[in-house]
Structure 1
């Protein structure tokens, strides 16, 4: 594990911290999807209130992470390493697709009580598939560049939108 900040308030191994955040988000999504497979309440119409709360909290955390990357790490990398701009543009486009799925998940979870659990499952399965490829692509293309930011003032949370789990 890497500290979020060194004692002098400088960045350290931001790329590695991004991987840790991705692992945490992937694990959280896998837990939510697994809970959808557990028995539903007797009415069977919607996931439990607890599951909805966990799912909405996950959606908010994922949204903060992507918004943080767009405004933090991606902006900084695009300024400092212009040849990464096409990669960053692809990642930002992915973030927009993910944001659309998150909106649909939130609508399904907070909207019509008659929405079947299968609709929630379909949205979360699609989200998991996109995130798997998105996270791997982002890690493959950006970890080394992010780790090179070591020694700059700031926090990984400022660049990645979330603290390291």
Structure 2
């Protein structure tokens, strides 16, 4: 867990923060998928709240991957050149994820809401890909990212999101 009182402008265990972001994104996606079963606004169509939650999630995941590509991955490519093939694989994954997110956003942006089964299929595919992607990314990058601690900038600069604070207690 990252220190909650870390001074602005300092990185604190960026790799650990990446894991926290992945856990949060995974939990949010699980909540969305679970809510598909509980959501019954009409004839197998997602409710407005579910649509909003889904679109918010898609935007957060997109920001995270763009932040990694433009921040952490560029820095790691300079600092640890042997990671370049891993980074290229991860960027390819990000492109595939962006395609899925685009399809989800298109489904949810249609004035006629999509059938839940169609949305579920996209979310299930996204969940399977992200599980593999997150584990690979964490296995290959956490130590290198944690070595960046103390550099100027913020985790959000490098990861696209700040790890959500966990409730104390």
User: Which blocks of at least 5 consecutive residues in structure 1 are unaligned?
Assistant: none
- TM-fit CA distance, 1:116: 1.2
- TM-fit CA distance, 1:115: 2.5
Moved more, 45-54 or 67-76: 45-54
- TM-fit CA distance, 1:44: 1.5
Residue 99 of structure 2 corresponds to residue 93 of structure 1: no
Residue 116 of structure 2 corresponds to residue 117 of structure 1: yes
User: Counterparts of 1:95 and 1:5 in 2: how far apart (Å)?
Assistant: 31
- TM-fit CA distance, 1:4: 6.7
Kept in 1, the 8 Å contact 2:39–2:47? The answer is no
Kept in 1, the 8 Å contact 2:15–2:144? The answer is yes
Closer, same or farther: CA 55–14 of 1 in aligned 2, 3 Å: same
Closer, same or farther: CA 125–153 of 1 in aligned 2, 3 Å: same
- TM-fit CA distance, 1:22: 0.1
Residue 156 of structure 2 corresponds to residue 150 of structure 1: no
Kept in 1, the 8 Å contact 2:107–2:113? The answer is no
User: Counterparts of 1:58 and 1:114 in 2: how far apart (Å)?
Assistant: 18
Aligned length: 164
* Secondary structure in structure 2 of the residue aligned to 1:72: helix
User: Which blocks of at least 5 consecutive residues in structure 2 are unaligned?
Assistant: 165-169
Counterparts of 1:55-134 in structure 2 under 5 Å? 55-111=54-110, 113=112, 115-134=114-133
Closer, same or farther: CA 37–141 of 1 in aligned 2, 3 Å: same
Q: Give TM-score scaled by structure 1 length.
A: 0.95
Which residue does 2:13 correspond to in 1? Answer: 13
- Per-residue displacement from partner, 1:16-51 (whole Å, max 9, x unpaired)? 00000000000000000000011412x324200000
Structure 1 outlier segments of 4+, above 6 Å: none
